[in-house]
Amino acid sequence: MGCEVPWKVTGSFLFEYEMMRIERPSYESVAFIFPGQGSQSPGMLHHLLDHPAVVRTLDEISEVLHSEVCNLDCEQALKSDVSVQLALLAAGVATRALLEQPLNPAAVSGLSVGAFAAAVTAGVLSLQNAA
């Protein structure tokens, strides 16, 4: 039998970019692009809006990590690749949460670790599995 989902994802790799096409009701001219390592900066998670959707997302990631995700954006923590990657995932997914439904992009893309935030946004990877 299997589960039936209202969309399907097609993908292709071009250099380090992963593009996932979301085939469901969408805004044809909107795409979300998530950055990879190198775009991080100290305090990046603390500079996100104090919006309920952002707070909820960061709390969910903290619960999965069994640690406060906002501690990963200090200068010392960002010397670790693991901290950088988790902080970028958190920033991308939390920023996307601001736009809440029904805005569905026509496509999502992520460079390197940004592909994880893109996959969460596309609904093909759970936030728990991404973190």
CATH for 56: 3.40.366.10
- Number of helices (H), then strands (E), belonging to the chain: the values are 4, 4
Establish if 67 belongs to a structural domain: yes
**Number of domains comprising the chain:** 1
Is 2 part of any domain? no
Count how many Cα atoms sit within 13 Å of the Cα of residue 120 in the half-sphere of its side chain. 23
Which residue segment(s) compose the domain that 15 sits in? Answer: 9-130
User: CB 48: neighbour CB atoms within 10 A?
Assistant: 20
User: 57 near 93, Cβ under 8 Å?
Assistant: yes
| pTM for the full predicted model | 0.75
Q: At what angle do helices 52-65 and 81-97 cross, to 10 degrees?
A: 150
Residue 14: how many other CB atoms lie within 10 Å: 8
26 occurs within a structural domain: yes
Distance (Å, whole) CA 69 – CA 87: 7
Determine, yes or no, domain membership for 4.
Answer: no
pLDDT above 90 coverage of the chain, percent: 52
Q: Is residue 124 part of a domain?
A: yes
pLDDT in tens, 8-57: 344 433 333 344 554 545 556 788 899 999 999 999 999 988 889 899 99
d(CA 8, CA 23): 6
Would residue 43 count as lying in a domain?
yes
Could you tell me if residue 39 is inside a domain?
Answer: yes
Is residue 1 in some structural domain?
no
pLDDT at 8: 39
Element (H, E) at 83: helix 81-97
